[in-house]
Structure 1
Amino acid sequence: MKNLVEKRGKLLFTVDSALLRELGERLVGKAHIALAELVKNSFDADATKCTITFRANEIEIVDDGHGMTLQEFERFWMRVGTTHKAGEVYSRTLRRPLTGSKGVGRLAVQFLANKVEIQSTAAGGNLSLNVKVDWNDAVHHEFITEASADFELTSSLSSYANDSPHGFRVILSGLRQDWDNQSLKGLAQEVWTLKAPFDGFAGKGNLDQSHNFNIEIESSEDTDLELSSFSQQASAAIEQWIAKIEGVIERGRKNNKQRVKITFQDGKVFEESFYVSENENCQIDSATWEIRIFNLSGHYGSKIKVGDARKYFSEFGGVHVYDGPFRLPYYGIEQDWLGIELDHSHRKVRSALLPSHFHVERALNDLPTQGRILGVVRINTGSEHQHASPRAIKSGDYLKIQVTRDRLQINKAYDQLKNAVRRSVDLYAVFSMRQRHENARRERPELSPVSQAVGLQGLLSEYKNEIPKRVYNEVSAAIETFTSSVEKEQVYSDSITSLLGPLATAGMSALALEHETSRQLSILERIAKNLSGSGIRAEESAKEIRKWILDFKSMRRVFEPLANQEDRETIKPLRAARVIDIVIDSLQHFMNSTTVTQDIPTNILLPAATFVEWQGIFQNVFTNALNAMLAVKQVRKIHVDAGYRGKNRAWVHISDSGSGVDLSDTETLFEPFRRKGDIPEQRRAMGLGGHGLGLTIVQMIAESRGCSVRFVEPAQGFNTTFEIEWRI
């Protein structure tokens, strides 16, 4: 039977007014991002100054930009999602690259406050526009098209930032968040970081158009944010760098090149060039970056304390990305977007991004951690869109921001930018390690005993004709015998020394593994028994298997250096902080409820030795500390710190809250098979002490590398402190 059409026509889409609030929540999300959107509008309006004032329940943003007429306000501000900026690459007067393109920035005010009042006077105009919007009222209408704003035009002209007769003012009231002094201060500090703290190479290009745009943050007397103090401390902290990495990509789509410049505090400068991408076309037109590296120890002078600098970098450090003059909020200390911390945790020593001829032994050991770097990466997504080819635009392979406006779209262009910046950080690590190797060579004695003997032989030859033949032959033979003996002794000494570290680690680890294997086999037997029974217990058994795998993997960390030829055989100075980090990580399986803290200056180097030797020393010392805390009921804690004595001595202290030692009788503890107290059989079976050889081995390795070891007066809050000291 044929259906009869009773009615035909078109249905129109409608948009619920609740979308205003939904978009504000989802596309803005955080208060400082919302404020950033308003500041960006000021920048796009060619303002030279934008002032943000915090009051008890009000925030005011005012600029000296070109302002808006009533027609412009109705066409652009009142239209959600307008994309007029996408077609306009530069601002109308100062030719700045426009920072907005999605047309949702004005929703930031809805996220921050329930009410907004706007004042605007257009440049060259003689009327002031006043607009009031009540967001609660707007979202109660059924459709967005029914929501409205009240306005009036007056001949009473307002004054804006810099006493300008034209500009834009936004007054937010009925704030949606509870803003106490502390939260307002935090918000103000986030806004303070909107602009990059330094420029580097960026000052030489057109990416930074912010030199004539200033953001000022003020507060009323009843909302004292101490912003001037924060600004001064931050400025002082970022000037204490020990190295600086600068990089630039110019006309990348044409030449596929990046330049890198590394500057050290002592004035040494290194410059290199690389291809942005070896295997494909460069998808980036321009980018610049500067990354500063800090040593957060010692004394910073009167302007800022080291502790304050650490706090600043722990909150605002890391490498940030700036689109035009403004920071994208996703990047920084909380995001390891360059993979630096990941490579630290995996103990990578060689860069995958640098050509092979740059390789230096253990170069990536000198990678700075997130907590002691501050970086600025500058791009301009508007300019990137303009320079992208039609094919790139169609595929999306150019630098662009996600709709959330907090990060870059992950694509080929993003990967190339990330690799270019990370390549420059790896290059810093290479040059830093090279300098350490050079310093180590300079600090060695100019002539070894063998070289001195050869020199003596040469001197003897010069006087051969003036010395009786019999005397000459006897002295010459004696020198040859001495030289041969020294050479053999050195070879023997090096071979014995190089074995001590592996033996110390292998002995302890083998016993631990034997115990752990027996324990894990028992677990497997129980799991097998469970699995052979009722199916109800299968999930429980599966959880046990997964836990077993994790435990066993944790145990294997103890053996990692023994399996690495470079760790076993390469003798060179190592960073104390890095070595101790790795040893602590390898012993996590045995730490239980022990808290380990450390305060080690990053520039302290251990005397030249293999990594396995130092691992053997620190593993034994930490093991002693863990055993000493077995019977302790209070908090179990270990603290490691290091420092200098005068100009030519350095030390490391390992302190614990264990049972303590008698300082008048500690010498006997270094004798073979001497130990303090009884260690439970279970701990001895795990290889965690109890054999009386640990401190003997520690002393043997340490002294062979020019170190002295001893127990010293405990640090405050601890019962035992073990010291390793050496001459620099």
Structure 2
Amino acid sequence: MAKPKYHFDITPHIIKQLGEQLVPDDVTALLELIKNSYDADASYVSIEINTIGEYTNERLFYPNQNGYILIEDDGFGMDQKTIIKSWLLISYSNKRSLNGPKEKTPQGRTPLGEKGLGRLSTQRLAEICEIFSNKVGKKGTHIAFNWKDFEKEESLSAVKVKYETYSSKKANGTTLLLTNLNNIEVWQGKNLERFKGQILQVISPYKENRPFEVYLKVNSQPIELDKFNEGLSDLAISKFTFSIKDNILTLKGNTRLTKFQGNDPLASEAFHNFVEFDNGRKLFKYLKSKISDIKRSDDPYFMSFERTFEIDKDVKLEIYNGERAKPGEFNGIINEFSYKEEQLRNENSINNIFGKYENYKDFAQAQIGIKIYRNGFAVLPYGIDESNKDWLGLSSSQTKTSFYDLRPDNVIGYVAIDEGKNFELKDKTDRSGLISNPYSRNFFTLLHFVKDQINLYQRSIRRNYNNFLNEYKTENNGIKTVNQALNELKVTKSKSDEVKQEFNDAVSNVEKAIIESGMIVKSVKNNPMYSTDLEKETVEKVNTLLNKLKVIQFTLQKLEQVISKTEKLNEVIDILEPKIQILEDQLINFSELASLGLTAESVSHEFTSIADRLAERATFYVSKLQQNKLNDADIYVFIEYINTTVTGLKIQLRHLDPALKYNREKKSLLNLTSFFEEENDYYINRFKKQHIELKIIFEDTFSITINRGKLVQIIDNLLNNSEYWLLERTKNEKDFKPTINIKIASPWIYISDNGYGISPAIENQLFEPFVTTKPKGEGRGLGLFIIQQLLDASGCTLALEPIRNEHKRKYIFAINLSNIIVR
């Protein structure tokens, strides 16, 4: 008796289930088949979907079927051996790579397929699959099978596959014919319109980002993939491009003048009065003085900028296997659109391209979202479905303080990645996003960095635009400050009181003159026989004068109403004056309290570290006590440790105490040498654990009058900044020895470190609020702004010295204390 042959097998039904899990919908299925044409080095792929017709151009194994999908390309094709190995051996893929980038095709493309399961997409679309394919100089191979057979047979090898060879008229290529469509309703009526929108989402509508031509026809109706053309792109109110190459992130932007036009009538009026009348000439001059890297741009844009960042120095990336997990080179575009008709009223292209404004708006809103395209094909679901339109988190910054940031409903764009250059960015098995790994996480970190830098630019130009309006208005008015405006009100009230009696006398005199003149005119006119010619001539002149007096009287009556209003100015002044004073005090308190918060944050971190170490020691000695191993020496050591810990806590509290409210208002005479010697214990203790060396150089000591807590906060915020970036460099460079330098040279305090320095891209906006290159959650961009506010309250300044380090970056902060120095 022959021994039974034991072996694994699989039922065909499992293959159908696998296909349903891996290919969630018809659009994804079609996309996978288009990718196969790309992988075959095709210069084009043609797709025809016909829901009612019958395909008759070829000899078929399964003729007379209802409806078909025809996918045809001019790729390198398949021979009999390739079809058996690539199509009929489930899950085999010659595109697979265990480590590193995949092997390229003969034309240099990196295959997009990953799992070798794209063929299962055909069962999502139709019952019957027929393939016609041939390589150059070889006969063609025609195979066909019915997916229904996978439900009938018991083993996979029993599924019937029909085949034959044929002489092809094409030099090379593949034709895939799918008949007996599963979901005809997907390609009809409203569903067809939905499909058009979906296919435009998953195949890049940007020619520069699409690697080969895709022709699509549904029931004889072509679908134009290029409909999203340059015309729509040129209507963007702001346009940003970015690229990452050779450790450099380059960000470029263009902004239309109408970007500054506000929503409400007053803002629009200000824009027309102070900006539009000279095409923004004065505005640009002002902005250029504040943001030095902006330039005038070509029409239709008003201004542009270009900024570069060194990724190793400016962006915090995750470390993997001892080095930064860099995702590879990529680039992208983010266009910001406006739906305010007034901002686009001069755009002829709206009528030329879309017919009318409503059509432009509908089409633009249908394309909303930032997509990720891998070699021209969308990586789902980013920017595609509603739940993932805002995967970049644009809505999270929509607050009252950042209204001018990018908003998810106004942005259209893409990120272009490449299978070869970004091979570590891998799709999930079900094509529902990128697999989370250090490379993909750093990829998203870089994109969030780009978004943050765009938002910083948007806020900066808007904030400076508002400042421009304020300065321009006050320059014309001669009033520069709120206090000047209040004083002007007081002067107006005083002047009005002075002239009030004179005005009343004038009103009374005009009234008398009118009465007397009227009597003269009436007397002569009533007695014409007794009036001389001279009197009659005089009466005519008096009558003319009388009419002018009546006009003056009418004007005086109006002025009387105005003067009566000025009597209430005292009430207005009494209300405004204390409120203005309160607001100014609150601004000072805000700066002080915010700075205190940053100082307390660092101190609380120290408290936590001290508490953790004390708890660790206590646990150790409790364990020894429980094991009856605790001796007198242990108790002595523990007590000494507690004493040391208490001393450390006192140092922390002594450092924080001057900044508390009951001490914050006290000013004292401080010798800077004594001040830094007293604070030295705190700083040494703090930086010792981070292996940061602190050097204090007393080149020329001097004394100042200032609140001690305020000075502590100023120094702390600068040192916090240095500490953060020094630790970031330490993570990347094992042999790096971080150092902070403080130099005292009357009337200056210079603070610097040997980190990378300030990124040139933000050095001109460094002291504006919310400007930072730190990741979200690790930096607010308020530290330097708060320091400036604290110094400004004392008539002092903070500046970034022009000297650059070996990285060609500014790195020295200079505090000018000349206004509070004691001679």
How does the TM-score come out when normalised to structure 2?
Answer: 0.46
**CA 1:260–1:450: 2 relative to 1, 3 Å:** closer
Alpha-carbon distance in structure 2 between the residues aligned to 1:26 and 1:240: 41
Q: Does 1:98 align with 2:149?
A: no
In the aligned structure 1, how far is the partner of 2:249 from the partner of 2:454?
Answer: 15
Does the 8 Å CA contact 1:99/1:382 hold for their aligned counterparts? no
Of 340, 365, 372, which aligns to 2:393? 340
Secondary structure of 1:187's match?
helix
Question: 1:439-518 alignment to 2 at 5 Å?
Answer: 439-444=465-470, 445-447=473-475, 448-450=477-479, 493=576, 496=579
Provide closer, same or farther for how the CA distance between residues 443 and 125 of structure 1 changes in structure 2, counting only shifts above 3 A. same
**1:368 equivalent in structure 2:** 406
Distance in 1 (CA, whole Å) between partners of 2:108 and 2:226 is 30
Q: CA deviation at 1:450?
A: 4.4
Structure 1 counterpart of 2:140, from 113, 125, 128: 128
Residue-by-residue CA offset, 1:546-603 (whole Å, 9 max, x unaligned): xxxxxxxxxxxxxxxxxxxxxxxxxxxxxxxxxxxxxxxxxxxxxxxxxxxxxxxxxx
Q: Distance in 1 between matches of 2:577 and 2:48?
A: 68
1:270 CA displacement: 3.4
Specify the structure having the higher radius of gyration (Cα).
2
Matching of residue 436 in structure 1 with residue 446 in structure 2:
no
Deviates further, 108-117 or 429-438: 429-438
What is the identity, as a one-letter code, of the residue corresponding to 1:326? F
Pairing of 1:58-137 with structure 2 (within 5 A):
58-87=68-97, 89-122=102-135, 124-137=136-149
Corresponding residue number in structure 2 for 1:19: 14
Pairing 1:643-662 to 2, within 5 Å after superposition: none
1:263–1:270 Cα contact (<8 Å) kept: no
Question: Distance between the aligned counterparts of 1:491 and 1:170, measured in 2?
Answer: 85
Partner of 1:505: none
- Give the root-mean-square deviation of aligned CA atoms: 3.5
1:91 deviates by 4.0
Q: What is the one-letter code of the residue matched to 1:327?
A: A
Q: Could you say which residue in structure 2 is the equivalent of 1:678?
A: none
Query: Percent identity at matched positions?
Result: 20
Contact 2:206 2:226 in 1 (8 A): no
Residues 1:183 and 2:201 are matched in the alignment: no
8 A contact 2:318–2:442 mirrored in 1: no
SS at match of 1:98: coil
Kindly provide the CA deviation profile for residues 290-322 of structure 1, in whole angstroms up to 9, marking residues without a partner as x. Answer: 111111221462112443344334443211111
What is the identity, as a one-letter code, of the residue corresponding to 2:78?
A: M
CA deviation after TM superposition for structure 1 residue 148, in Å: 3.1
Alignment check: 8 A CA contact 1:234 1:312 kept:
no
* 1:271-286 alignment runs, 5 A limit: 271-273=307-309, 274=311, 275-278=314-317, 280=319, 281-286=324-329
Say whether the 8 Å CA contact 1:85–1:100 is kept in structure 2. yes
Q: Does 1:417 align with 2:440?
A: no
- Choose the corresponding residue for 1:198, options 206, 223, 226: 206
Residue 170 of structure 1, CA deviation = 1.0
The secondary structure found in structure 2 opposite 1:136 is helix
Q: CA deviation at 1:53?
A: 1.1
Aligned positions, number:
415
Does the 8 Å CA contact 2:32/2:118 hold for their aligned counterparts? yes
Change (3 A) 1:419 1:8: farther
Q: Pick the aligned partner of 1:270 from 306, 309, 321.
A: 306
| Secondary structure, counterpart of 2:89 in structure 1 | coil
1:36 positional shift = 0.6
TM-score by length of 1: 0.52
Answer yes or no: is 1:294 the counterpart of 2:337: yes
The SS at the match of 1:84 is coil
Once residues 461 and 3 of structure 2 are traced to their aligned partners in structure 1, the CA distance between those partners, rounded to angstroms, is 81
Letter in 2 for 1:272: T
Q: Which amino acid aligns with 2:372?
A: V
**1:261 is aligned with what amino acid?**
K
Hey, what's the Cα distance between the residues in 1 that align with 2:357 and 2:182?
A: 37
Cα 1:148–1:435 change in 2 (3 A) is same
Q: Which residue of 2 aligns with 1:461?
A: none
Q: In structure 2, which of residues 241, 251, 256 is the aligned counterpart of residue 260 of structure 1?
A: 251
Q: Does 1:149 align with 2:161?
A: yes
Match of 1:311 in 2: 362
Displacement after TM superposition at 1:18 (Å): 0.7
Equivalent position SS for 2:10: coil
Please give the secondary structure, in 1, of the residue aligned with 2:202: coil
Bigger helix share: 2
Are the counterparts in 1 of residues 382 and 391 from structure 2 also a CA contact under 8 Å? no
Tell me which amino acid in the other structure corresponds to 2:337.
F
Q: Indicate yes or no: 2:447 matched with 1:427.
A: no
The amino acid across from 1:115 in the alignment is I
| Distance change (3 Å), C-alpha of 1:290 and 1:441 | same
| Structure-2 separation of matches of 1:116 and 1:491 | 87
| Structure 1 residue 432 displacement after superposition | 1.6
Aligned to 2:174, which of 168, 171, 180? 168
- CA shift at 1:340, angstroms? 2.3
Uncovered stretches (5+) of structure 2, i.e. residues with no partner: 52-66, 257-301, 485-568, 584-823
- Amino acid in structure 2 at the alignment position of 1:61: I
8 Å contact from structure 1 (residues 313, 371) kept in 2: no
Structure 2 letter corresponding to 1:380: D
Partner of 2:809: none
Counterpart position of 2:375: 324
Equivalent AA in structure 2 for residue 428 of structure 1: I
Aligned to 1:140: 152
* Unaligned runs of at least 5 residues, structure 1: 1-6, 160-164, 350-361, 386-397, 455-485, 501-728
Cα distance in 1 for partners of 2:190, 2:255 equals 38
Inter-partner Cα distance in structure 1 for 2:437 and 2:234: 35
- The code of the aligned residue for 1:170 comes to L
Change (3 A) 1:53 1:8: closer
Write the distance in 1 (CA, Å) between the matches of 2:17 and 2:479: 80
CA distance in 1, matches of 2:166, 2:24: 35
Q: Relative to structure 1, is the Cα distance of residues 279 and 68 closer, same or farther in structure 2, using a 3 angstrom cutoff?
A: closer
Q: Matches of 1:328 and 1:494 in 2, distance apart?
A: 59
Match of 1:243 in 2: 238
1:259 and 1:11 map into 2 onto residues whose CA distance is 61
**Which residue does the alignment assign to 1:216?**
215
Deviations along 1:317-375, one digit per CA (max 9) or x if unpaired, are 2111112221112110521554525514xx557xxxxxxxxxxxx34x22222221112
Name the CA distance, whole Å, in 2 between partners of 1:338 and 1:314.
Answer: 17
Q: Distance in 2 between matches of 1:413 and 1:46?
A: 28
| SS at 2:441 equivalent | helix
Q: Are the equivalent residues in 2 in contact too, given 1:338–1:422 (CA < 8 A)? A: no
Q: Partner of 1:129: helix, strand, or coil?
A: strand
Secondary structure in 1 aligned to 2:195?
helix
Deviations 1:637-674 (A, max 9, x none): xxxxxxxxxxxxxxxxxxxxxxxxxxxxxxxxxxxxxx
Q: Retained in 2: the 8 A contact 1:196–1:322?
A: yes
Conserved 8 A contact 1:276-1:416: no
2:84 maps to a residue whose letter is E
Deviating beyond 6 angstroms after TM superposition, the runs of 4 or more aligned structure 1 residues are 7-10, 488-492, 497-500
1:377 corresponds in structure 2 to: 415
8 Å CA contact 1:44, 1:99 repeated in 2:
yes
Give the distance between the partners of 1:249 and 1:178, measured in 2 at CA: 44
Which AA in structure 2 matches 1:286? E
Give the counterpart letter for 1:92 in structure 2.
T
**What are the Cα deviations for residues 169-209 of structure 1, in whole angstroms up to 9, with x where unaligned?**
1111111113323323432442233333337xxx6xxxx6x
Task: Give the deviation of 1:440 after TM superposition.
Answer: 2.1
